[in-house]
Chains A and B, each alone.
Chain A
Amino acid sequence: MSRLLGRGSGTVIGGRAGLAIDPKLLAILAKDRIVALVSGTNGKTTTTGMLVAALTDSDSEPVVTNTTGANMPAGHVAALIGTRPSGTVVLEVDEGYLGHLIEEAHPQVVVLLNLSRDQLDRIAEVRMLVDKWRAVLGRLEPVGQGGSGTVVVANADDPMVVWAASTAPDVRWVGAGQVWHDDAVGCPACGGRVVFEASGNWGCDNCEFARPERFAWLEDDVLVMADGSRYPVNIGLPGRFNRANAAMVAVAAPELVGTYRQPRVSVGTALARLAGLHEVAGRFSTVQRQGRVIRLLLAKNPAGWTAIFDLLDESSHPTSPVVLSINARVADGFDTSWLWDVPFERLAGRTVVATGERCRDLAVRLRYAEVDHQVVPDALEAVDTAVRGAAPSSGPDGPPSVEFLGNYTAFAQLRRRL
């Protein structure tokens, strides 16, 4: 069933069955553990993987996590069941289930990355979601003696996240940056207009709502703390948005109390451990085919695709062929209209192959972007079409000669077939 839905390995079924037998199973499993939650529209899986990497080295006890991206309660139960009932747990949480997870799992840390339009037929509009987050974050306990209560680590550059998290009693605001502003122009506080300055500062033109005082912020490749200390952000994952995710992780990791076998980490240690992380759940991984290195990238919505195009500008040869794969299953959202919010015009000049179950929608979008393209409905054939047109790679560790960009289930389908 979950394979049919294109959603992963099948572990979720056990979790669903467990919850059917005892709806409080998640709360029982999470009791006595140190829990961190990661939520937001984009970067959840990657940031969850980064936080796990930041908390562990070869000597420490493994951190329990939902590595398959199964980020709803059945997936959380599946991740926790059968593991030692103590120690640290890092869970990626679907935006719509954050309230439920906070109530069941009593986290020490909640990391809130960003909020933008995604799967409008399932998750609902951004402002509806923000209102739900505000209510649940407002009920958090402040941090007290002995590690009780919850610290929220929130992106100070996303007005929607700030509006949601400003009800929480203890927040570490991180200036992680936010490229996508198109869902945040209408002020969530008063209906006025949120104005973004070139410096990155922002505020409403009608009320007091503005960027909060930051605990830390990203300046290019350096994480600057409000106390003046500076940490280089040299991480293994590519792209500006992953340095932003690293900044969130570097602030979140030291907030977890740790255990004897999982000692508390410093900002510097957390960042140093991210240098060795080169892929998370297959995202940013590379595979070889006929002497060509293919990089696998996942993007689900306009903000995510825009960030991935920035990554291509930063780290891909400007003429490297690109395979674009689009599905529209439950996990992707049934409506493909969002393709028209993605700046595909930026791919002009590359060889572009359109594939996936909704390649026809993609083809029409590319036609109006005036980007030359071929349509190859089978994803593996599409990859091979691009490979045939690509320059050979210098070696398995050389730069990628083909870029594969898929949305959620399109990405998972291709990984299974490679």
Chain B
Amino acid sequence: MSTTAGSRTPLTVVVIYPDLLGTYGDGGNGLILARRAEWRGLEVNLIQAPSDRHLPRGDLYCLGGGEDGPQVRAATTLIADGTLLRAAADGAVVLGVCAGFQLLGRQFPDAADRPHDGLGLLDVTTRKGSGMRAVGELVATVDEAAPAGIDGARLPLLTGFENHGGVTTIGSGASPLARVITGVGNGGGDGTEGAWTDRVVGTYLHGPVLARNVGLADLLLGWALASRGETFPRVALDDVEESALRAERLAGVGNVRSARSDRERRRRV
């Protein structure tokens, strides 16, 4: 641990509204960010922030997937609370997954297909898809224009599990996170998956996404530290188990999942 660590406030990771956006196991993203910072000697405060209290200030915010009704409630509550919008303007890092991705955008639909205002942190708009839900393993290449990992190289393939009925379109103010190899992703016909602007990232990937893609986890940590004026500690972690999981998932999907089996899987759901 650095000698000055004691004088700083701990790096604060906030999991937003697990009572509303905790359905799909995405709370793991917050835990992964916190542990990877701790294992590098940083002091970390991991907060599970319930929806009935004022959202605390943090360096990294995680939003997960949730059901339609709770998603609307989460968006309404976050807009009224105001903390997330202010924190993002001040440089906080935000990761939104699935319903959490959609509500970071300008607009998203509820179960009855009525549009609701999102937070507008990402220039994306989501509408209800006309076909089946997109359910299954997804593999995507990180977009060439997306930020590089902490080692300076492009992030490796993204792997995850998608389960959503929404179709998300990226506006001129945001960029695609990745290009789909297998799976559906944003679903608007442009082959993109997820979106990013500044220090805000949205994706449809569960798994959770950071368990399967630790390079993305470290990128987000690096942003949060940069925003605090701190440097990323060059401590290599022993990611042998994460690598084994990635290798297994990528191998399984690459060989087994053809475009046809994708369609069949979606039809069955």
Residues of A within 8 A of B (CB): 117, 120-122, 125-128, 182-183, 185-186, 188, 191, 193, 334-341, 360-361, 363-365, 367-368, 370, 375
Contact = CB atoms under 8 A, between A and B. Distances in A.
Interface string B13-53: 00000111011111110011001000000000000000110
Given A334-B136, A337-B26, A361-B245, A186 B206 contact: no
Given A360-B241, A360-B248, A341 B27 contact: yes
B81 interface: no
13 contacts: A120-B163, A128-B67, A182-B19, A185-B70, A186-B19, A186-B70, A193-B51, A335-B25, A338-B25, A360-B241, A360-B248, A364-B211, A364-B241
Given A191-B72, A336-B207, 16 more contacts: A121-B161, A121-B269, A127-B68, A128-B67, A183-B23, A193-B52, A334-B135, A337-B206, A337-B208, A340-B26, A360-B241, A363-B245, A364-B242, A364-B245, A365-B28, A368-B211
B19 A337 contact: no
B244 interface: yes
Interface in B143-189: 161, 163
Interface string B222-250: 00000000000000000001101100100
Contacts of A361: 211, 245
* Majority-rule SS of B interface residues: mixed
Interface of B: 18-20, 22-28, 31-32, 35, 51-52, 67-70, 72-73, 135-137, 161, 163, 206-208, 211, 241-242, 244-245, 248, 269
Contacts of B136: 121, 334
B67 A340 contact: no
A347 B69 CA distance: 34
| Most chain A CB atoms below 10 A, which of B18, B22, B51, B68 | B22
A375 B52 CA distance: 40
A95 B244 CA distance: 35
Nearest to B137: A334
A341 B69 contact: no
Given A360-B244, A363-B245, A186 B73 contact: yes
B161 A334 contact: yes
A340 B69 contact: no
The 8 closest A-B pairs by CB, nearest first: A337-B25, A340-B28, A360-B245, A340-B25, A185-B19, A337-B206, A335-B161, A186-B70
B23 A363 contact: no
Nearest to B29: A340
Contacts of A122: 269
Contacts of B207: 335-337
B241 A335 contact: no
Contacts of A340: 25-28, 31, 208, 211
A365 B211 contact: yes
Contact of B161 (A182, A185, A337, A365): A337
B244 to A, nearest CB: 5
Contacts of A341: 22, 25, 27
Contacts of A117: 23
B24 A120 contact: yes
Contacts, number: 95
A41 to B, nearest CB: 13
A128 B245 CA distance: 32
Contacts of B25: 335, 337-341
A368 B31 contact: yes
A120 B52 contact: no
Given A335-B206, A360-B248, A368 B18 contact: no
A337 B31 CA distance: 13
Contact of A125 (B23, B26, B73, B161): B23
B67 A126 contact: yes
| Most chain A CB atoms below 10 A, which of B67, B72, B137, B244 | B67
A179 B52 CA distance: 20
B97 to A, nearest CB: 10
Given A337-B28, A341-B27, A365-B28, A121 B135 contact: yes
Contacts of B52: 193
A363 B244 contact: yes
A71 to B, nearest CB: 18
Contacts of B23: 117, 120, 125, 183
Contacts of B269: 121-122
Contacts of A370: 35
A188 B135 CA distance: 25
A59 to B, nearest CB: 46
B248 A127 contact: no
Contacts of B69: 127, 186, 188, 191
Contacts of A337: 24-26, 28, 161, 206-208
A75 to B, nearest CB: 18
A368 B67 contact: no
Nearest to B38: A370
B241 A367 contact: yes
A185 B48 CA distance: 15
Contacts of B24: 120, 335, 337-338
B72 to A, nearest CB: 8
A186 B26 contact: no
Contact of B241 (A186, A191, A193, A363): A363
B67 A335 contact: no
A185 B20 contact: yes
Contact of B67 (A127, A193, A334, A360): A127
A172 B27 CA distance: 37
Contacts of B27: 340-341
Nearest to B211: A364
Nearest to B238: A367
A117 B67 CA distance: 11
A121 B268 CA distance: 10
B163 A121 contact: yes
